[in-house]
Amino acid sequence: MKPIAKTLACGLSLSIILQPLPLLAAPPVSTGTGGAVATISEEASKSAIEILNKGGNAIDAAVAAAATLGVTDPFSCGIGGGGFMVIYLAKDKRVITIDHRETAPASFTPSSFLKDGKPMDFDTVVASGMSVGVPGTVRGWHEALDRYGSMSFRQVLAPAINVATRGFKVGETFSHLVAENETKFQNFSTTSALYLRNGKAVPAGTVLRNQAMARAYREIAARGEKAFYEGPMAEAIVEAVNHPPLAAGKSAAAGNMTLADLANYEARIRQPVHTTYRGYDIYGMPQPSSGGVTVAEALNILEGYDLKAMPRAQAEHLYIEASRLAFADRNAYLGDPEYVDAPVAGLLSKQYAAQRRALIDNGRASTALAAAGDPYPFQNDQSITLRPQQQQAVRMQESLHTTHFTVSDKDGNVVSYTFTIESWGGSGIVVPGYGFLLNNELTDFDFSGPRPNVPEAGKRPRSSMAPTIALKNGKPAFTIGSPGGATIITTVLQTIVNYLDLGMPMDQAIEAPRISERNIEASTVEPGYAGSDNARALEAMGHKWGEKPEQIGAANALVFNPDGTVTAVSEAKRLGGGTALVQRSAH
Ligand code: GLU
């Protein structure tokens, strides 16, 4: 988590952010009945509605939307990556999560990203086979469909196969993302062939077809998840990781993945993280994502204040400080739960939150980085004697990419789903013959440790993804989630505060300028925010903004209204705007 300006070198540039707004073809807010969906892609939202209209449930529709996003938004997500799905099952009245985060191949060790004892260059590792984790997306979709869906891969992949075969019109954002990644993409022959024209980004307006990705989906449709994890597609993935398909005169480090790594990959069904806030039950993603725990801890800290009664800047001051404290704990304690015994019960305890809250000055921004607290006395299990030494975690680059979307159905099932290939365009390697980009998720490890997020064989790198479902009186009330690396956590947190405490309707809660404090020297803010009245009120309390303002996370949400209707909410502006649809419009 170095300053974001550094992050920009390997991905997003401000030129994307400052694009003029396209004319919106599809609405970013829709209210109605039946199922609903909000994604950043018009095609993906339509795919979800198509599946809902054919009688599929929210889980079926989520896989359909995700597969379509893999075609239309291939630089943020796809079958070459992984993710986290939070599902509310109406019939069972319970929330479950599916962790299909990438894993480090069995060849990995804590020194895999060290050279001569020092961390390797970040960008060099990104654009290589070394950064590629064993992809989890297809196994995640399989678990979702098999356990909770009602349709087959063949049915739910059909809309995405159509879009990939028929083609879709490249938009400004798409073209700019390619332009920003030209250098990375030029390294690899397959990627250049798909996304560059004479070495330059495919221009907006081009109709792009991806027959190879359609083929990959067709094989999964025909043979299920095994088509991905065993046989020719698995062989092509391993070959692409270990011998990247280089363009003439280019070089990239090779990875060390085996067919066994793929065949052995398992998704995990995990219990959600749960906390309560202002009468809502908030369910989020547990480790290996830090998203759920960190959002919950910050909410627990904020619960002790009457934010509603405060001027907005005062409430935002407390939001920033709570986030700072929660991030200090996140960095110190959280990682893959199969490798790290994190004190989660302590971190989620309301008494612990009260202790953290006492560190906040109500009128002044803290001047130093926050230290991690000691949640161990607040663990239920007091017998834990092996406690990690407090260490200042090395702060790695974390980037701004990924996609989040949300779907519900007429029966009340709800999905909140964030998935990614990490950086824009992941490792930059398109798998020959199959048209999808491989992730660079392993750069989410801390290259030089220390624990808890040091690379290890089979381990999942710590994530920040925070797909969230909130219930009130036992019924779904709203969903929220966002892309954006570690800013995902702050976007989810700030949107909840905007919505529940500052009284904004969800579209305004999402649209409001974002402030992201991640226990860094200066909070990240969006372009145009510094200098606003609100910013000045916070500056008067001592808050500082990073020098490079940048767009933070394109969020998507659903709100379940008291009259039984549902409102789907996407972005009006960020990333060119998203598409919110309902099965039956109320208007
Ligand atoms: N790899 C990031 C995470 O898991 C998401 C990628 C991004 O949004 O930059 O938190």
Per DSSP, the residues of 289-342 read BSHHHHHHHHHHHHTTS-GGGS-HHHHHHHHHHHHHHHHHHHHHH-S-TTT---
How is residue 366 written in tokens?
């803290």
Pocket test for ligand 1, best of 75, 100, 422, 442 (most atoms within 8 A of CB): 422
Per-residue pLDDT of the chain (587 residues), as tens digits, is: 333 332 332 333 333 333 334 444 577 999 999 999 999 999 999 999 999 999 999 999 999 999 999 999 999 999 999 999 999 999 999 999 999 999 999 999 999 999 999 999 999 999 999 999 999 999 999 999 999 999 999 999 999 999 999 999 999 999 999 999 999 999 999 999 999 999 999 999 999 999 999 999 999 999 999 999 999 999 999 999 999 999 999 999 999 999 999 999 999 999 999 999 999 999 999 999 999 999 999 999 999 999 999 999 999 999 999 999 999 999 999 999 999 999 999 999 999 999 999 999 999 999 999 999 999 999 986 666 666 665 555 555 555 689 999 999 999 999 999 999 999 999 999 999 999 999 999 999 999 877 789 999 999 999 999 999 999 999 999 999 999 999 999 999 999 999 999 999 999 999 999 999 999 989 999 999 999 999 999 999 999 999 888 889 999 999 999 999 999 999 999 998 999 999 999 86
Angle (CA) 60-64-70 rounded to 5° is 145
Q: How far is the CA of 76 from the centre of ligand 1 (A)?
A: 9
Cα 126 from Cα 309, distance rounded (Å)? 46
Q: Cα–Cα distance between 484 and 398 in angstroms, integer?
A: 9
Catalytic residue, from 402, 495, 524, 579: name it: 402
Going by C-beta distance under 8 Å and a sequence separation of 6 or more, which residues neighbour residue 355?
Answer: 373, 378
Of ligand 1's listed atoms, the one at least distance from the Cα of 101 is 4
Residues with CB under 6 A from ligand 1: 399-402, 420, 422, 441, 444, 463-465, 483-485
- pTM here is 0.94
Tell me 148's DSSP state: I
Question: What is the CB neighbour count within 10 angstroms for residue 456?
Answer: 22
Please choose from 8, 444, 446, 460 the residue to mutate so as to test ligand 1's pocket, defined by most ligand atoms within 8 A of CB.
444
- Domains observed in the chain: 4-27+36-268+397-514+552-585 (3.60.20.40)
> How far is 437 from 71, CA to CA, in rounded Å?
10
Task: Please give the distance, rounded to the nearest whole angstrom, from the Cα atom of residue 263 to the centre of ligand 1.
Answer: 24
Q: Residue 291 CA: which ligand 1 atom is closest?
A: 10
Annotated active-site residue 402? The verdict is: yes
- Residue ID of nearest Cα to ligand 1 atom 3: 463
Which residue has its alpha carbon closest to ligand 1 atom 5? 485
CA of 137 to the centre of ligand 1 (A): 14
Instruction: Give residues with Cβ within 8 angstroms of 121, minimum separation 6.
Output: none
CA of 401 to the centre of ligand 1 (A): 6
Rounded distance, CA 209 to CA 192, Å?
A: 14
Identify the residue whose C-alpha is closest to ligand 1 atom 2.
485
